[in-house]
Amino acid sequence: MSTCEARVRPMIRSTRQLALTFAFAVGMSALVAGPAQASPAFPSVVQKEYDMPCPPSCTLCHATDPGQAGNFIKPFALSAVVPRAGGGLAGDESKLEVALEKIKTEMPRVDTDKDGTPDSDELSEGNDPNKPGDERLCGPAYGCGAHIAKAPAKNGGAWVLAVTAAALVTFGFRRRSS
């Protein structure tokens, strides 16, 4: 092995380690970032517009709670809100307000689930316009003014930072000792 090769090989090895560390850190941060979500203000906008007894859960328009951009699939969202908003909402509360006002005032009145009760009346009563009947959007309330509170948000970013720091320290010590 020539002198030149002896100098270059350790540099290639340390560059690979650095690249692997970077790839690991990027991969871990991608896991924590999570998908885009709907505006957290949307439920309160719906509650205010229809004078609802509670803010509806995200499942009024989304498949999951909290809602995510990829699961905006409920009939009320697709057949009532989006057409009256002039397309996707993309976090725009004013477009949502316009759509909700049109649902309330438009004739013939919008009835997504075709149960004979307009969506605006169902929402005012705290019922789900996606399902026929009196399917409640508001959970049960027990006692004077009781409500079911959401669980606090969990932040998974701390463990990613700790693992990334440990990997960088480990690779840094290896690099210096070689």
pLDDT tens for 129-143 read: 999 888 888 766 666
Residues 20 and 51 in one domain: no
Residues 100 and 64 in one domain: yes
Give residue 82's domain range: 42-124
Percent of the chain at pLDDT above 70? 62
Residues 46 and 85 in one domain: yes
Residue 131 lies in a domain: no
Residues 65 and 115 in one domain: yes
Residue 166 lies in a domain: yes
Residues 57 and 28 in one domain: no
Instruction: For residue 46, give both structure tokens.
Output: 């719906």
Whole-model pTM: value is 0.56
pLDDT in tens, 7-48: 645 655 555 565 556 655 555 554 444 444 456 778 888 889
Residue 149 lies in a domain: no
Residue 142 lies in a domain: no
Residues 102 and 63 in one domain: yes
Angle at 138 between CA 132 and CA 139, to 5 degrees: 110
* Rounded Cα–Cα distance for residues 128 and 148 (Å): 18
Residues 164 and 102 in one domain: no
Residue 151 lies in a domain: no
Residues 14 and 72 in one domain: no
Residue 111 lies in a domain: yes
Taking each helix axis from N to C terminus, what angle separates 3-33 and 157-177, rounded to the nearest 10 degrees?
A: 170
Residues 78 and 24 in one domain: no
For residue 65, is pLDDT > 50? yes
Question: Which of residues 80, 103, 124 is at a domain's end?
Answer: 124
Residues 53 and 72 in one domain: yes
* Rounded Cα–Cα distance for residues 72 and 156 (Å): 25
* Rounded Cα–Cα distance for residues 31 and 29 (Å): 5
Neighbours of 63 (CB within 10 A): 13
Residue 135 lies in a domain: no
Residues 18 and 59 in one domain: no
Into how many domains does the chain fold? 2
Residue 160 lies in a domain: yes
Q: Which residues pair with 127 in a beta bridge?
A: 136
